[in-house]
Structure 1
Amino acid sequence: MRVFLSTYGSRGDVEPVLGLALELQRQGAEVLVCAPPDFAELLAGFGVPMVPIGRSARALTQSAPPPSSIPEHAAELITAQFEVIGEAAKGYDVVVATGMLPAQAGALSVAEKLGIRSVSVTFQQLTLPSPTHEPLALPGRPFPPEVTDNEKLWELDAESNDLFFVDGLNSNRVEHGLAPVHNIRDFAIGDRPWLATDPVLDPWQESSRFDVVQTGSWILPDERPLPDDLIEFLEAGEAPVFVGFGSMPMRSTTDTAQIALEAVRAQGRRTVLRRGWAELSLVDDADDCFVVDEINQQALFTRVAAVVHHGGSGTTMTATRAGAPQVVVPQAADQPYWAGRVADLGIGAAHDGPTPTNESLTAALKTALAPATGVRAKEVASMIRTDGTAVAAKLLLDGSR
């Protein structure tokens, strides 16, 4: 069987797809991944073939284009998908589409044009309309403060998504002989979307609107050993606190690193600092901080006292599965949701807002480092499913939707 996996976004959008690709390969399927060019080296390192698409996701994130340019960027990406995926996916049996909404809608449209079965996947439930939660506001399109009814908010969300994305999608669909769509969000979701999250960390409440298939999280197994010098640092004293913000460019990288180090030191702990896309760096030459770049976080998080991070779905899952207490400093999008889930489960603290101060981060770390939080984090870790990629692969290979 030949499976085409399409995504566009940050590492949190790409790594789960890579995890599924490896499981499909293990079960004998032929796979091809379509992703931003930033991740060509990552996929090549795992022996997974890839076709690059669109601009650098990192460059786009760091440039923070104004909301007014979003329709243009989206239309450009969708056009590229019709060109790139339209050629690369020929002869495949199924297209799995995830990532940013316009990318997802574009990939599904190409599958429709090619007559290929398709599956729509999301890595967090906040994109799925439901009366139990409100949608995420799009950049430059805040919801009116007087509107509090979730159903009405989801109607406004559909309007915003159409305003940003539907023209770019429909111009390509019509050009390629497809009928235009009138609600790009619902088109991208489909009737039976897959939710690739853990039911403990991200419990889905049944909805009459969609037949949601919750597969469990798609975990990319990481068997890389930790560097010898990092192991030496870890073993030289009490378990340190990890600080890293993944693919998020923090507003003030120097201040963030300094604030984090001071807050960790106030708890009598050492720090492992990850540079990430925020390019965090040492602020002094003290020997109580170790800086890492690309690292096996699955292994590292089992050896730290707490994890301070941005609240990406992947990092939240990795820390939860490792049984590490967390401090989530959410920056954007779905990250406040994950921060809330960490707090609700009692496995860490949700920082109030994206910009930590010494006082606010110190208070959050006290919660995370409390003995009761550590006990609860280990308890929840034992409940987390690890078979998400196997479940998804079986559904794909059996032809189920």
Structure 2
Amino acid sequence: MKISILTSGTRGDVQPYIALGKALQERGHEVLIACPENFCSWVEGHGLKSCSIGIDMQAFLQNPEGRKVLSGNILSMIKTWKKIIVPSIQKTLDISWEYARHSDSIIYHPKVGAAIDVAEVTGANLICTALFPIFPTTAFPFFVFKGKYGPFLNKLTYKPMSLSRLFFIKMINKWRREILGLKNSPMIMPIDGDGANEVLRLCAVSPSVIKYPTTENGMIHTTGYWFLEEGENWQPNSEFLDFIKSGEKPVYIGFGSMPTRNPEKLTKEIIQGIKDAGLRAILATGWGGLKKISLPDDILLIEKAPHDALFDYVSAVVHHGGAGTTAAGLRAGLPTFICPSSFDQPYWGRLIYSLGLGPKPLSLKKLKAKKFSKSLIDLVENESYRSAAAKIGKRIANENGVSRAVELIESFNLRDKV
């Protein structure tokens, strides 16, 4: 069976799909992953076919224009949106049609909604996936809302997602008419289609963390996380090993793919916070969220390392709250402290705190050494966090989200043939 996987975003939006794609390919399916240009070689390194959706996400987020998207300034965000994002959307539309139109099944991240339109033409099986809970439910509200509002209002909070096409509706409709031969798209379009096609919905989150009710639409499944195992090929260098041997287990601190507005200032605040807490730490610079500066002996700077291996060497994790890093920390059974920036990150920070797995989240934009230090001390000294994290880590380690997802995808694809 030919399967196209369409995704966009940062590393955390691609990594789970590599894990899923490899498992599907091992089952004999022909798999192609369409993703940001800077991840294509990574995908191909895992033995999968890939194609670029027309944007280099790392280059985008590391240039001044891209950083404006994270600034919180609405006018700056709109200008950047028009200048950079809109042209890239056109490329994504064209590439989605070019590469997915011959597929039997299309698996897609909601950021690549063109899958809906392509399947409308080809009749391909449509599988909408999510790395955090975005499918409408009466059980809990959309992730940007903090409370619970009752079944009716909970489900209503998901409606704004249906308006996302309004930003690009002229472009999408021109593409639908001229390339796909379709009528205009509805102004309000759910993330998983307009109801014309039956859609399988997979939420790649551990049911030990959050789960859609069994009474929900039978086409929504909480599969468990889709982990990509890369640690077995990682060889830590002598500097890393010497640092580990020289004292107590360090705390991991890293902000992944998220750049920050002033990396040097943030790094200095973090270093001072670590010193004040009297801890050892590993700092991961990632895509530039932290700056390479002179460090004391109790702090080791690295660029990156696979979390499934790195987290064996640390006592706790501090990060931005990306879905993938959160999942890795939970599986490792480690207390977690989240310093969110934007998108779904505040949601994970609140969830970790509510589950008793770590301190209250501290916004990355408001991070100062004094507050950061107090939270670090709480993170490593509060035994209730360690106990709760160990328990949930054991449960997640016994789950196989990729295997469950493959099982559901294959059953869905064969439903009309039985």
Q: TM-score range by the shorter chain?
A: 0.7 to 0.9
Structure 2 residue ranges without an equivalent (≥5)? 70-75, 146-151
TM-score by length of 2: 0.84
Equivalent in 374, 381, 384 of residue 393 of structure 2: 381
Alpha carbons of structure 1 residues 225 and 326: separation in structure 2 relative to 1, 3 Å: same
Q: Distance in 2 between matches of 1:224 and 1:286?
A: 29
1:6-65 Cα deviation digits (max 9, x unpaired): 101111110000111111122222211100001123213222221011221123334135
Between 75-84 and 19-28, report the one with greater CA deviation: 75-84
2:259 aligned with 1:249: yes
**Alpha-carbon distance in structure 2 between the residues aligned to 1:157 and 1:47:** 34
Which residue does the alignment assign to 1:158?
162
Q: CA offset at residue 313 of structure 1?
A: 0.3
The alpha-carbon deviation at position 279 of structure 1 amounts to 4.4
Counterparts of 2:389 and 2:174, CA distance in 1: 49
- Which range moved further: 45-54 or 281-290? 281-290
Contact 2:277–2:374 (8 Å) recurs in 1:
no
The Cα of 1:88 is off from its aligned counterpart by: 2.3
Counterpart among 291, 296, 300 of residue 290 in structure 1: 300
Shift in Å, 1:219: 0.8
- Distance in 2 of aligned mates of 1:375 and 1:150: 32
3-state SS of 1:284 partner: coil
Structure 1 position 80, deviation (Å): 2.0
Map Cα deviations across residues 203-241 of structure 1 (whole Å, 9 max, x no partner).
Answer: 324575673122211111112224132122112211001
Q: Distance in 2 between matches of 1:189 and 1:221?
A: 36
State how 1:311-330 maps to structure 2 within 5 Å: 311-330=321-340
CA apart distance, 1:247? 0.9
**Counterparts of 1:40 and 1:375, CA distance in 2:** 39
Q: Which amino acid aligns with 2:177?
A: V
Following TM superposition, by how much is the alpha carbon of 1:120 offset from its aligned partner in structure 2, in angstroms? 0.8
Rounded to whole Å, the distance in 1 between the matches of 2:291 and 2:78 is 33
Q: 1:224 is aligned with what amino acid?
A: N
Going from structure 1 to structure 2, the CA distance change for 1:192 and 1:118 (only over 3 Å counts) comes to closer
CA contact (8 A) 1:264 1:271 kept: yes
Q: Does 1:87 align with 2:98?
A: yes
Structure-1 separation of matches of 2:210 and 2:155: 21
Check whether the contact 1:135–1:157 (CA below 8 A) recurs between aligned residues. Answer: no
Deviations 1:47-86 (A, max 9, x none): 2221011221123334135343536755534432343232
2:347 aligned with 1:337: yes
Distance in 2, Cα, partners of 1:249 & 1:362: 22
Unmatched segments (≥5 aa) in structure 1: 139-147
- One-letter amino acid of the counterpart of residue 215, structure 1: T
* Whole-angstrom CA distance in 1 between matches of 2:361 and 2:278: 20
Query: Structure 1 379/38 Cα, relative in aligned 2: closer, same or farther at 3 Å?
Result: same
Stretch deviating more after TM superposition (259-268 or 187-196) = 187-196
Name the amino acid aligned to 1:170.
N
Letter in 2 for 1:360: K
Note the alpha carbon deviations across 1:157-182, whole angstroms, 9 max, x for none. Answer: 534x2432333322211222123332
Deviations 1:261-302 (A, max 9, x none): 222222322111111113423443422221112312111112
Distance 1:391-1:206 versus aligned 2 partners, 3 A rule: closer
1:216 pairs with one of 220, 224, 229: 224
Conserved? CA contact 2:101–2:118, under 8 Å:
no
Other-structure match for 1:142? none
| TM-score, normalising length: structure 1 | 0.88
Partners of 1:5 and 1:95 within 8 A in 2: yes
**Size of the alignment, in residue pairs?**
387
Q: Tell whether 2:399 aligns with 1:392.
A: no
Match of 1:356 among 358, 367, 388: 367
Where do residues 301-312 of structure 1 align in structure 2 (5 Å cutoff)? Answer: 301-312=311-322
Match of 2:304, SS state, is coil
Does the CA-based 8 Å contact 1:241-1:264 persist in structure 2?
no
Q: CA RMSD in A?
A: 2.6
CA shift, 1:328, in A, is 0.2
Structure 2 residue aligned with 1:143: none
Residue 145 of structure 1 corresponds to which residue in structure 2?
none
Task: Name the CA shift for 1:84/1:2 in 2 (closer, same or farther; >3 Å).
Answer: same
User: After alignment, is 368-377 or 199-208 more displaced?
Assistant: 199-208
Q: Deviations over 1:126-182 (max 9, x none)?
A: x323344444669xxxxxxxxx955554445534x2432333322211222123332
Query: Is 1:112 matched up with 2:120?
Result: yes
Q: Is the 8 A contact 2:317 2:334 kept in 1?
A: yes
Decide whether aligned partners of structure 1 residues 164 and 31 sit closer, same or farther in structure 2, where only a CA change above 3 A counts: same
**Equivalent residue, structure 2, for 1:33:** 33
Q: Supply the distance in 2 between the matched residues of 1:278 and 1:332 (Cα, whole angstroms).
A: 16
